[in-house]
């Protein structure tokens, strides 16, 4: 009767150890090593003035130098999974590559215990689309970037800026899912689409903004406000399709034009459709359901 429980416990332990093993930092064997090789810390530098290289899980790291440290009272060998490393470089010479994401900065602090690598020193990152037709590269800048080795998700904080083609997002925090190509911006987020031809610049603000970079889709909720030229539209949430140049505003939606004095109010249980290429707003009586599931991060529940 106890065997299933024992097998389940063993499976959980094996899975945990495997995850822990994926967090182990491994340096290129060609690296130059100085310091206390038994207890640490040790300093790694590249051969013949080149960069030192290391890998952890699916992440490749290169920098001018790196310092590996063991917990007090432990050896470097026996403390695998608990060690820390600091990668340094002049300017933005610390480079981190994971799949289609390339990030760089002045310093990277990595913890095997948490599986988190924190990039500082004017960090920036570029995420390239899988195919040319999938859209524009995503460029991210922030005061700090944290990469989780257990998944393909990065978290950027402090004066965050996300730029993808004509779209620009700004916020205090950005969580970007590389697998689903979804970004979640919080902390006074704002999204803008640059003017193009006769189409005026569009700005959208709210309490939370979500973007699907591959599809050029945007979902903003919480006291949203769209501003384009002399037109201002407000509501509870907005779904914007950049490719179709149309925004769907739901929840007490109202649009006013300060130049013409025109006011359009959504009908009961209806919504406003705003054509950003034509500068036209109309009220529709049928409900509009925003496909919020398309904007969820990996593992996130509705």
pLDDT digits (tens, 9 = 90+) for 200-256: 999 999 999 999 999 999 999 999 999 999 999 999 999 999 999 999 999 999 999
Q: What is the mean pLDDT of residues 165-172?
A: 96
List % helix, strand, coil for the chain (3-state, nearest 5). 10, 50, 40
Q: What is the DSSP letter of 36?
A: -
Give residue-wise pLDDT tens across range 273-283: 999 999 999 99
Instruction: Give the pLDDT of residue 160.
Output: 98
DSSP string, 233-252: EEEEEEEEETTTTEEEEESS
Residues 106, 89: Cα–Cα separation, whole Å? 6
Confidence of residue 266 (pLDDT cuts 50, 70, 90): very high
Give pLDDT, residue 302. Answer: 86
pTM of the model: 0.90
From 86-90, 163-167, 221-225, the region with the lowest mean pLDDT: 86-90
Cβ neighbours, 10 Å, residue 164: 22
Q: Does the pLDDT at position 180 exceed 90?
A: yes
| Domains of the chain with bracketed CATH | 24-121 (no CATH), 123-297 (2.60.450.10)
Residue 36, both tokens: 């206390």
Q: Is the pLDDT of residue 16 over 80?
A: no
pLDDT at 11 over 60: no
CB 274 within 8 A of CB 255: yes
In DSSP terms, 156 is beta-bridged to 145, 174
- Judged by average pLDDT, the poorest of 10-14, 71-75, 260-264 is 10-14
**Residue 257 pLDDT more than 80?**
yes
* pLDDT at 291 > cutoff 50: yes
Give residue 197's pLDDT band: very low, low, confident or very high (50, 70, 90).
confident
Indicate if the pLDDT at residue 7 is higher than 80. Answer: no
Residues of the chain above pLDDT 70, percent: 93
Contact yes or no for 146/110 (Cβ under 8 A): no
The helix/strand/coil state of 286 is: coil
Rounded to 5 degrees, φ, ψ at 69 are -125, 140
**Residue bearing tokens 């913890």:** 111
Compute CA distances 236 → 85, 129, 203, 221, 287, whole Å. 45, 31, 16, 6, 14
What's the rounded Cα separation, in Å, for the pair 31 and 39? 18
pLDDT of residue 89: 82
pLDDT of residue 9: 39
Report, in angstroms and rounded to the nearest whole number, the Rg of the chain calculated over CA atoms.
24
Q: Is 47 or 289 the better-scoring residue by pLDDT?
A: 289
Q: Residue 68 has what DSSP assignment?
A: E
């Amino acid at each position: 009767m106890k065997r299933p429980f024992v097998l389940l416990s063993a499976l959980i332990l094996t899975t945990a150890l495997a995850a822990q093993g994926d967090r182990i930092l491994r340096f290129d064997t060609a690296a130059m090593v100085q310091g206390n090789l038994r207890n640490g810390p040790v300093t790694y530098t590249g051969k013949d003035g080149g960069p030192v290289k290391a890998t952890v899980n699916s992440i490749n790291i290169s920098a001018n130098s790196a310092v590996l440290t063991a917990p007090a009272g432990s050896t470097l060998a026996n403390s695998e999974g608990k060690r820390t490393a600091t990668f340094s470089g002049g300017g933005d010479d610390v480079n981190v590559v994971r799949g289609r994401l390339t990030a760089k900065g002045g310093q990277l602090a990595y913890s095997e215990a948490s599986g988190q690598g924190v990039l500082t020193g004017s960090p920036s990152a570029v995420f390239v689309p899988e195919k040319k037709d999938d859209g524009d590269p995503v460029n991210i800048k922030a005061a700090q970037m944290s990469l989780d080795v257990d998944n393909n998700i990065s978290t950027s904080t402090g004066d965050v800026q996300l730029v993808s083609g004509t779209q620009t997002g700004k916020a205090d925090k950005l969580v970007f899912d590389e697998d689903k190509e979804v970004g979640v911006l919080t902390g006074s987020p704002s999204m803008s689409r640059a003017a193009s031809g006769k189409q005026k610049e569009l700005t959208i603000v709210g309490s939370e903004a979500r973007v699907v970079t591959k599809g050029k889709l945007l979902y903003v909720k919480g006291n949203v406000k769209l501003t384009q030229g002399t037109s201002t539209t407000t509501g509870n949430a907005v779904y914007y399709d950049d490719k179709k140049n149309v925004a769907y505003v739901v929840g007490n939606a109202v649009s006013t034009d300060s130049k013409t004095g025109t006011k359009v109010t959504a009908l009961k249980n209806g919504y406003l459709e705003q054509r950003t290429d034509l500068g036209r707003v109309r009220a529709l009586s049928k409900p509009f359901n925003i496909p919020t599931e398309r904007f969820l991060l990996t593992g996130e529940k509705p």
